[in-house]
Amino acid sequence: MRILFLLMLMAAGTVGRAQELNCTVSVISPQLQNVEKRILETMQNDIREFLNSTRWTNDNFKMEERIECSILITFSERIGNDRYRGTIQVQASRPSFNASYNSTMFNIMDQDFTVVYLESQQLQFQENQHISNLTSVLAYYANLIIGMDYDSFAEKGGEPYFQKCLQIVNNAQNESERGWKAFEGTKNRYWIVENLLNARFEDFRRVVYRYHRLGLDVMSNDLEGGRRTVFEALPDLKRIRQDQPNSFLLQVFFTSKADELVNIFSEGMPDQKARASQLLMEMDPSNSTKYQKIVKG
């Protein structure tokens, strides 16, 4: 299984040539009448090929061990012959050990997506250069997907890939496209990687490891033990939120995990259910209605 495989990779530093991602890609433009369907289909195929055929790491993945992810690009405006504006939604998941359940690692809706696409031009990317906004955005999220996945298997295991995300952000600082700069907003690509590499969020990354590797992954053999580990991580998340109440990273976490957290604690002991529900409502008030279901379960 991929969980055991990745743990062996991290311990032994295995080198290989297989690709890491199994990404499904959809490109749509429901509001646009002046975009040929053929162009969108070609772009969709090019993006899928770019993500799934590029070697993002030196680790060896079997076909069935690749990271499951998806990208939905929705164009709302054509602002030139080959220039488009819209959104890109990125979701990634990882399997739980010895179970059929896949846990969502993150689900991000990126509103700052403006790209140039030429049908006849191959998609190219270099780590030390901003060649195009399209490939920079795609490479950023490819490394983010891998980094979050590796963080869930080993403490700070995703560090090299978050550093690559930072390099991509830095390369784009002089570009006109939005989403790369701190002053453009509080919910963009800059702030995600800033939070992940900020020392103030080291506990968050430890929570990601404990939550998945010591929590979800043991539930198939020790349900209560795994649930207890997830519960014990909640106060750490609360301290992070108190220190950084407007963190985009925490918002992404709870958007991805709210339903899962409800399922985890709905079958817990009464005291644990009550405390978990209260903590989650304090940290993530936008999903309070969901967390109230824990004590009713």
CA distance 190 to 253: 16
Residues 272, 218 share a domain: yes
Mind listing the pLDDT tens digit for each residue in 69-120?
999 999 999 988 899 999 999 999 999 998 889 999 999 999 999 999 998 8
Query: Nearest 5°: CA angle at 182, between 179 and 183?
Result: 95
The token pair at 222 is: 């020790």
Mind listing the pLDDT tens digit for each residue in 154-190?
999 999 999 999 999 999 999 999 999 999 999 999 9
Residue by residue, DSSP assigns 133-187 as: HHHHHHHHHHHHHHHHHHHTTSTTTTHHHHHHHHHHHHHTTTSSSSSS-GGG-SS
Residues 51, 142 share a domain: yes
Residues 192, 256 share a domain: no
Residues 263, 211 share a domain: yes
Residues listed for the chain = 297
Our count of domains for the chain comes to: 2
- Residue 132's closest CA among 140, 122, 124? 124
Residues 135, 34 share a domain: yes
The token pair at 273 is: 């259910």
CA distance 164 to 159: 9
Q: Is the separation of the CB atoms in 154 and 209 below 8 Å?
A: yes
Residues 238, 148 share a domain: no
**In terms of residue numbers, what domain contains 260?**
203-296
Residues 263, 116 share a domain: no
Burial letters 78-91, b for 16+ CB under 10 A, else e: beeeeebbbebbbb
C-alpha distances in Å from residue 37, one per residue of 33, 42, 122, 205, 271: 10, 9, 19, 42, 55
The token pair at 53 is: 């055929």
Q: Which of 197, 212, 246 is the last residue of a domain?
A: 197
Query: Nearest 5°: CA angle at 33, between 29 and 37?
Result: 60
Mind listing the pLDDT tens digit for each residue in 247-284?
999 999 999 999 999 999 999 999 999 999 999 999 99
CA distance 98 to 115: 41
Mind listing the pLDDT tens digit for each residue in 2-38?
555 455 545 444 444 458 999 999 999 998 877 788 9
Residues 281, 155 share a domain: no
Strand partners, 109: 89
Q: Identify the three-state secondary structure at position 191.
A: helix
